[in-house]
């Protein structure tokens, strides 16, 4: 298979799998994809400035501000004034935000684990295990 055809097939199947996974969490239904991603970034990094989050999400600071306002309304984040610059705030996950993240991940992992068990042979599961490393390389490629 040529790389172009592989790229098309891989993009198509990964996109469809991501869309399907998004639908498998009732907990995450009231959050946009960017809001869920923002929560995941805060879980990964602990604390970030809004402009750092905007850069990581590749959106404007104004759009990030709207996302953070919604997450604050839902109780998912905490805004703390910066110790070094009182004009800035540091964003971190609240206990509610951590709980939402864990629930969403668990719901999706449970669905995917069940789907793997019921639709794949042991050899296919082994092939998927072997594919994880090159897929991670693709994710990290810039």
Domains of the chain, residue spans: 3-140
| Cα dist from 86 to 53, 69, 90, 106, whole Å | 19, 19, 10, 38
Say if residues 76 and 94 touch (Cβ distance below 8 Å).
yes
> What is the reported pLDDT for 107?
94
| pLDDT of the residue at 101 | 94
**Strand partners for 92:** 47, 78
Q: Which fold has domain 3-140?
A: Arc Repressor Mutant, subunit A (1.10.10)
Q: What is the pLDDT along the chain (142 residues), one digit of tens a residue?
A: 689 999 999 999 999 998 898 888 888 888 988 999 999 999 999 999 999 999 999 999 999 999 999 999 999 999 999 998 888 999 999 999 999 999 999 999 999 999 999 999 999 999 999 999 999 999 888 8
> What's the confidence (pLDDT) of residue 80?
96
CB 55 within 8 A of CB 43: no
Ordered alpha helix ranges (H), the chain: 3-22, 33-45, 50-57, 61-73, 95-119, 122-140
């Amino acid at each position: 298979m040529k790389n172009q055809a592989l790229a098309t097939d891989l993009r198509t199947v990964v996109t469809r799998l991501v869309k399907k996974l998004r639908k498998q969490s009732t907990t995450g239904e009231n959050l946009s994809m960017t809001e869920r991603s923002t929560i995941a970034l805060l879980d990964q990094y602990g604390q970030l400035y809004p402009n750092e989050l905007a850069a990581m999400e590749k959106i404007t600071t104004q759009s990030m501000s709207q996302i953070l306002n919604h997450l604050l309304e839902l109780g998912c984040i905490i805004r703390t004034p910066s110790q070094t610059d009182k004009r800035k705030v540091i964003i971190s996950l609240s206990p509610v935000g951590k709980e939402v993240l864990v629930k969403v991940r668990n719901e999706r992992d449970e669905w995917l684990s069940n789907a793997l068990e019921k639709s794949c042979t042991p050899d296919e599961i082994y092939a998927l295990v072997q594919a994880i490393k090159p897929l991670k390389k693709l994710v990290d490629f810039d």
